[in-house]
């Protein structure tokens, strides 16, 4: 296994990315994680006074000596790996991800007032708003964690019919000492582009996570 190709691409990317887009040249950057099992390059935008916003993660498989990005296929509900054969493919993939990020950011700015009003609502109003959204649930509730008579965490995946966005519903059930069951439900809505980024970020940090221990 060799990282020679990885290092060569890192060096060339630093020289090439600033020239692919003026907007990236203004605020874009990249960070390199060479010590991971699959080394990766993460691309971000950094505005003054704002935390970094990552829009693309490029992985390197040292065994096969190939670069790839991960994406989510909603039709089959699985992540897929897209192999990038050469530096031109890599630059094109990063450039495309950057403009998809810009497009999403523009939409967010247009609707920021409506979103702020939504988040300022109390919990009952938020629940009522979500009930009005037409969601087709693609999976049953899937148990992610269970400890008898103490806690159960389940997830369910659906599609918003009007927009095609994904919905991830998390239900947390906790049993008290009085054998009363408390239920907490949260819903997370995300786009296809966000899904691929979320999956890539989680996959690249799985080794850092610990198993759930309800008693700790």
Domain boundary among 46, 76, 110: 110
What is the count of structural domains for the chain? 2
Rounded Cα distance between 158 and 133, Å, is 11
User: Mean per-residue pLDDT for 102-129?
Assistant: 50
Q: pLDDT at position 101, please?
A: 79
- What is the per-residue pLDDT across 12-41, written as a single tens digit (0 to 9) for each? 887 777 666 666 767 778 888 887 788 899
Rounded Cα distance between 182 and 161, Å, is 30
**Can you name the residues that pair with 136 across neighbouring β-strands?**
159
Q: Place 107 in a pLDDT band, splitting at 50, 70 and 90.
A: very low
Q: CA 95 from chain center: how many Å?
A: 18
CA distances from residue 67 to 81, 98, 125 in whole angstroms, order as listed: 10, 18, 46
Domain boundary among 62, 82, 110: 110
Domain boundary among 110, 144, 159: 110
Say yes or no to pLDDT of 206 above 60: yes
Q: Is 180 left (phi over 0), alpha (psi -120 to 50) or beta?
A: beta
Q: Are residues 104 and 118 in the same domain?
A: no
Say yes or no to pLDDT of 154 above 90: yes
pTM confidence score = 0.47
Nearest to 68 by CA among 18, 6, 25: 6
Instruction: Yes or no: say if 145 and 153 are a contact pair by the CB < 8 Å rule.
Output: yes
Residues spanned by the domain of 174 = 112-196
Flag whether 204 is in a domain: no
DSSP-derived 3-state class of residue 190: strand
Q: Place 158 in a pLDDT band, splitting at 50, 70 and 90.
A: very high
Flag whether 137 is in a domain: yes
H or E, element range at 7:
helix 4-16
The pLDDT > 70 percentage for the chain reads 74
Q: CA 188 from chain center: how many Å?
A: 12
Q: Place 3 in a pLDDT band, splitting at 50, 70 and 90.
A: confident
Q: Place 79 in a pLDDT band, splitting at 50, 70 and 90.
A: low
Q: Where are the beta strands (DSSP E) in 46-150?
A: 53-61, 66-73, 78-84, 135-137, 142-147
Rounded Cα distance between 51 and 45, Å, is 9
Nearest to 188 by CA among 168, 170, 160, 165: 168
């Amino acid at each position: 296994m060799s990282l020679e190709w990885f290092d060569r691409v890192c060096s060339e990317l630093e020289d090439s990315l600033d020239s692919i887009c003026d907007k990236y040249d203004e605020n874009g950057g990249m960070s390199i994680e060479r010590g991971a099992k699959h080394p990766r390059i993460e691309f971000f935008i950094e505005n003054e006074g704002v935390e970094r916003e990552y829009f693309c993660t490029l992985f390197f498989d040292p065994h096969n000596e190939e670069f790839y990005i991960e994406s989510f296929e909603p039709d089959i509900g699985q992540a897929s790996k897209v192999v990038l054969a050469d530096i031109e493919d890599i630059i094109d993939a990063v450039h495309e991800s950057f403009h998809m990020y810009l497009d999403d950011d523009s939409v967010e700015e247009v609707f920021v007032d409506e979103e702020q009003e939504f988040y300022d609502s109390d919990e009952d109003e938020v629940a009522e708003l979500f009930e009005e959204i037409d969601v087709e649930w693609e999976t049953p509730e899937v148990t992610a964690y269970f400890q008898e008579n103490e806690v159960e965490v389940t997830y369910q995946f659906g599609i918003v019919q009007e927009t095609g966005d994904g919905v991830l519903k998390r239900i947390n059930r906790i049993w008290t000492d009085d054998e009363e069951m408390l239920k907490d439900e949260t819903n997370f809505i995300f786009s296809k582009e966000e899904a691929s980024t979320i999956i890539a970020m989680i996959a690249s940090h799985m080794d850092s996570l610990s198993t759930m221990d309800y008693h700790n």
